[in-house]
Structures are given as structure tokens and as C-alpha cells.
Amino acid sequence: MVKEDILARYLAPLLRGDRGACRCVVEETMQSGIPANSVYLHLIWPVMAEIERLSRADRITSVQEHLATRINRTIVDQLQNKLPRRPARHKKVAVCCAREELQELGAQIIADLFESDGWEVRFLGGGLTNDDVFAFINEYAPDILFIYGTAPKQAPDVRRLIDRIRSVNAWPDLRIVVSGGLFNRAEGLWEEIGADGFAATAAEALQVAADESQVADPERRTVNRRKRRPQNAEQEVAGATA
């Protein structure tokens, strides 16, 4: 487990944009015996979440947020080949970001950890339309579609994608799991949009994937149903983002 003082030592140079100092903290952490997957789970991910929180609260500048995000992505790229490799599970997962999602790092971390855990992975990233994702699902036929999103405005588009997949019903065993700040801040949103599961963290993503009993009930899998969110839904989502 990564100690909290290491998190603080990493966050400070991250906000300064000091790439070398950040690399030193990560290298020292791994030299102390902490494996790469723990660095992903207990250093990079929580610091990523903290950067997002600080940015949303206007406690850091846009420049600091950009510097921190790019350093984190560089670190993750360097650590990827140091992750352990477990035996193949003969299961496939496609990981994508909600449309217009600018923060791909969380999805990239999840994709890397799935690959480390023995899954066959396709990481689509962001910037794709629902048509693009739908066509890929049709071709690749994954066991799980993992959707990552951070902004409230993305919820309707994610719902439309899920509804379209359900309406075709060509993949009745496909499980759809969501993650990211959008779903962390709006309790129950993942159920409302018809997903089969929700992961608040990268560690939970692997746990949810391993639990094959976690499938949306028929009521939540019904497309074009009336939304159950109260009339003040927008305020709830907006309040969760504060």
C-alpha cells in the first residue's frame, strides 16, 4: 500500500509540472517494493481523482490541471510494461470514454489493469461517436463494454448508446459497466441509464468484471422507458459536481 505521505510528495511536484521530481517519487516507491499495479491503484488513480476535485473546485488553474494530467499519462505509459501478467482469462473487454471526454487517463488505467489481469483488451479512448462504438462492438463482440465519463453533460449520450445496444439485443450476454466522476457524484445514475455495473475506482472495475452475476434487471434494461430521476434531476447532478 502506498502511504499518504507519498501521495503528498507526488502531488506537489505534479502541480508544479515537475516531471523529473514526479518520476523520482514513483521510482523510489517501486524501489521500496511496491509493484506497478499498486502504484496504478494507490498512487496514480487517487491523485488523478484529487486533481479532478481540485479543478472542479477552482482550487488549481487550468494550466496546473493540464500539466498534472500529462505527467500522469507519461508515468502510466512508462509503467505499463512493468505490470504483472496473469494467465489469459479468454474474456474480452472494450474500454471507451464518453463522447467528448477529455480525461482519458482513468480509462487508460482501467484498460491497462484489465490487460494485466488476463483480459483481452481494446482501448478506444475518447472522441468516438456512438455509431463508431456500436460498430466496433458489433465487430469485436466483447464480454464487457466499459464506459468512462467525468462530465454531467455526457450522461444522455451514454444512455443513448446503452439503449441502442439493448434495443438491438444482438449481444444478450454483454455487460456494460461505467466509471468516472460523472457516476461517482450522481448516486444511482448508473442504474438509471441501464448499465449493469458501476466501479468507483480502478480496483472496483476488476472486481465488478469478475462478478458475472452483476447484470441489470429487465426493468433497467428496457429502452425508452420513462426516467425515474426526480424533477430536480439537473440540480442533483449539478450539486454532485460541486
Tens of pLDDT, residues 167-200: 988 889 999 999 999 999 999 999 999 999 999 9
152 alpha carbon, distance to own chain's centre: 15
Say if CB 40 and CB 10 are below 8 A apart.
Answer: no
What is the location of CATH 3.40.50.280 in the chain?
92-237
> Which residue has 512493468 as its cell numbers?
82
Q: pTM value?
A: 0.86
Query: What is residue 43's DSSP assignment?
Result: I
Homologous superfamily of 92-237: Cobalamin-binding domain (3.40.50.280)
Dig out the grid coordinates for 185 from the structure: 457524484
Give per-residue pLDDT as tens, 231-242. Answer: 333 444 444 433
CATH of span 4-82: 1.10.1240.10
- Bridge partners, 176 (sequence order): 145
What is the location of CATH 1.10.1240.10 in the chain?
4-82
User: For residue 84, how many other CB atoms are within 10 A of its CB?
Assistant: 10
**Residue 162's pLDDT band (cuts 50, 70, 90):** very high
Listed in sequence order, the residues at least 6 apart from 44 whose beta carbon sits closer than 8 Å to its beta carbon are 72, 75, 76, 79, 109
